[in-house]
Amino acid sequence: MKSTIETVYFLENPEKKVTKFATGTQLLYEDTIKDVFGVASINDLNMMIRYNKGFQDSICLTHGITESSITLDRILRVASKLDLLLLRKQIVEERAEEVTIVSDDNALSIPCPFDSTIKLREGVFKWDDSNSSYHLV
Model pTM score: 0.86
Distance, CA of 49 to CA of 7 (rounded, Å):
24
Residue-wise pLDDT tens digits, 15-27: 999 999 999 999 9
* Residue % of the chain over a pLDDT of 70: 90
pLDDT tens digits for range 91-100: 888 877 766 5
Q: Which long-range contacts (CB under 8 A, 24 or more apart) does 70-73 make?
A: 72/42, 72/45, 72/46
Quick one: pLDDT at residue 132? 86
pLDDT in tens, 35-69: 999 998 888 999 999 999 999 999 999 999 999 99
**CA 51, CA 65: separation in Å to the nearest integer?**
17
